[in-house]
Structure 1
């Protein structure tokens, strides 16, 4: 079952360029993102119930996350990952956190050892970009709690093939199109806050 998303910037907007290996090792950070529970059931498109995308497990359920090396001290539920299955052609590109207080949220993440990269804009909203293995994109919104809002996967597969396979499984997806990052493409799963990008 997929939940209707709130109207905030789409996952993947204005992500900064970075070295792929640096994302995996996350040098200098006291925290590492290990797991994401997200309200999208990937078994509907033929993936395992608990996928291990690189170093991050993803499975279906109410939004929560798992960390190694501490607690980021944000009002997002912490959870332990179930046993997972490696999925080698896929990875987690980034997650999106929305917050009404960008400065306080970034400060909390930095206190936890975040590898802070830069401030910027995401569709006209203030945003910050931090590294915890995958990128955490923090976007300021006017109202609502601080929450884990979006998930962007990356894949080695051609996005037209992914779109066709997922559509045949009953999902509605946007047509693959150019991403903000030069040389990459992206599609969105309509009715969710899930996106898929080509790998860098």
Structure 2
């Protein structure tokens, strides 16, 4: 089976996401839900910290428990894909989730253990330091693994940030107003991106919005 993302657990209250134009509702569970594309973002509040706490995945191997994927708390899911919500900010899907890895080889091995192979790699720079990005496909979501190509360290990987897709980036930037950075060309050819100042509304997850993939 293909491994896909069912839900992402975020240590934010719904009051932090609604001002940023994300619709929040309930799917019958105890936590408020933000449905983006086919992914549920569970807003579990600040009782467990900040940022992305973990996730649930469909299609995990049936043999053995997978409750820790390279240090990321992971639950097995058999839920059907959720129906997307309409968001005032214009977001329609998740483009990619960023995973920060202290040991790229270890992370790639962990992904291989659940049957997921890297699609491509690229080298870049962040804050004057070399980085390597390794990309995996988890259904409609791209997982972008970021780490050093030259060194490794102990400790868990972490889910760090989310980039969303909008069909009208300029309209989304206008919605965010002063809470977003300038719209600029993305690394992906033909696409543009802007970064939300996520702390302004009280969100703890680094957030960006990118234009849709151009039609060929």
TM superposition score category, shorter chain reference: 0.7 to 0.9
The aligned runs of 1:153-172 (5 Å cut-off) are: 153-156=164-167, 158-167=168-177, 172=179
The aligned counterpart of 1:77 is 73
TM-score of the two chains, using structure 2 as the length reference: 0.67
1:4 match: none
Flag structure 2 segments of 5+ consecutive residues without an equivalent.
Answer: 25-32, 45-49, 61-65, 200-204
Q: Which runs of structure 2 are paired with 1:36-185 in the superposition (5 Å)?
A: 36-39=8-11, 41-49=16-24, 50-61=33-44, 62=50, 63=52, 64-70=54-60, 71=66, 73-78=69-74, 86-87=84-85, 90-123=92-125, 124-133=130-139, 134-141=141-148, 145-156=156-167, 158-167=168-177, 172-185=179-192
* CA distance 1:39–1:177, shift in 2 (3 Å): farther
Q: Distance in 2 between matches of 1:196 and 1:107?
A: 30
The alignment of Structure 1 onto Structure 2 pairs a total of residues equal to 167
Structure 1 length as normaliser, TM-score?
A: 0.72
Q: CA deviation at 1:39?
A: 4.9
Structure number with the bigger relative contact order (C-alpha 8 A, sep ≥ 6) is 1
Deviations 1:68-105 (A, max 9, x none): 12246221223679xx7622551010001011100010
SS in 2 for 1:131: strand
Per-residue CA deviation, residues 105-160 of structure 1 (Å, 9 max, x unaligned), is 0110111011421222242302211111111111115666310011111011x222
Structure number, greater radius of gyration: 2
- Alpha-carbon distance between aligned partners in 2 of 1:78 and 1:114, rounded to the nearest angstrom: 15
CA RMSD of aligned residues (A): 2.7
- Structure 1 unaligned residues grouped into runs of 5+: 1-27
Distance 1:129 1:46 in 2: 28
CA shift, 1:162, in A, is: 1.1
